[in-house]
Amino acid sequence: MLTRLLGPQRRYLWFWIFTGPFVIGLVVFSYVPLLWSITLSFFDARNTVTPTHFLGFANYARVLTDADFIQSLGTFALFAVVVVPATYALSLSLALLVSQLGWGRAFFRSVFFLPTACSYVVAALIWKMSIFNGVRFGLANTVLHWFGAGPVAWLSTTQPPWYWLVIITVRLWLQAGFYLVLFLAGLQRIPATLYEAAAVDGAQPGWQTFRYITFPQLRTTSVAVVLLLVINAFQAFDEFYNLLSSSRGYPPYARPPLVYLYYVALGQGQDLGVGSAGAVVLALIIAAATVMQTRWFGLGRKEP
């Protein structure tokens, strides 16, 4: 009996010894909190993780009718609509440029990749305090001064919403290099024979080759990059929080969902019920978006 349980050559035993710790970790640190959070979302859970007062769907109703939550989804949508295509275009163009370099390719690859190693918090603070601070000696305002324009309070001005410029540029700087490396790897996988055949058939180097050879061949890389970009945009928190929060909280604009939930559930509010309901709604939206994207791109479908 025991030998049957242990399997041939004790394979089952070894299977559990090797995977067990990770399964336990996954269950304890992912599944239990997940289920707990779903449970909390149905209770009045203020300042407690073991609530007793059952509310049904009241927390969901509260979150879905909260103008601030809806607005935070709008903020995310706007952010994603700008930052996903911008990062895609920037990192692809940089990858094309770097891959055509005759010399110093490794150098430029490293230079563009370096910001990826920088922490979002540090980058956000540099953007906030040195480049885009509102006083006359900030970098951006110094440049404006050369052209005779007065200083702009980048992060405090809501009309026009200059803060978006700061938020988008810091993320572009931080993440473009990472996707550049993905695209470079994709470019290297395109067989040289395709380009040779195209040249023989009379394709012009440049746009024509890019449009009909390079871009279609990069399809799998593009799909992966877009998926990663969208999920990363959903998880936006660090740069928003560090750029815009103050000791007294967060302004009522540029508030993405995670920042909203942070202040509801984890700030002084500690309203874990409403926070959990918001988190569940958000998780459902991310799941739906991902499923739609994979359908759209045909991810996982067998190549014809």
Binding span for another protein by CB under 8 A among 31-39, 87-95, 134-142, 290-298: 134-142
Our finding on whether 135 is near another protein (CB under 8 A) is: yes
Ramachandran angles phi, psi of 175, nearest 5°: -105, -15
CB-based contact 163:155 (threshold 8 Å): yes
CB of 156 to another protein, least distance (A): 4
Cβ closest to another protein, residue 107 vs residue 137: 137
CB-based contact 37:49 (threshold 8 Å): no
CB of 173 to another protein, least distance (A): 20
C-alpha–C-alpha distance, residues 296 and 225, integer Å: 14
The 8-class DSSP code of residue 85 comes to H
Which pair of structure tokens corresponds to residue 98?
A: 């770097």
Q: In the window 271-290, what residues touch another protein (CB under 8 A)?
A: 271
Our finding on whether 269 is near another protein (CB under 8 A) is: yes
CA-CA-CA-CA dihedral for 145, 140, 133, 82, to nearest 10: 140
Our finding on whether 105 is near another protein (CB under 8 A) is: no
Our finding on whether 251 is near another protein (CB under 8 A) is: yes
Our finding on whether 70 is near another protein (CB under 8 A) is: no
Ramachandran angles phi, psi of 92, nearest 5°: -65, -45
Our finding on whether 159 is near another protein (CB under 8 A) is: yes
Binding site for another protein (CB under 8 A): 17-18, 21, 46-49, 68, 129, 132-136, 138, 153-159, 246-249, 251-253, 263, 266-271
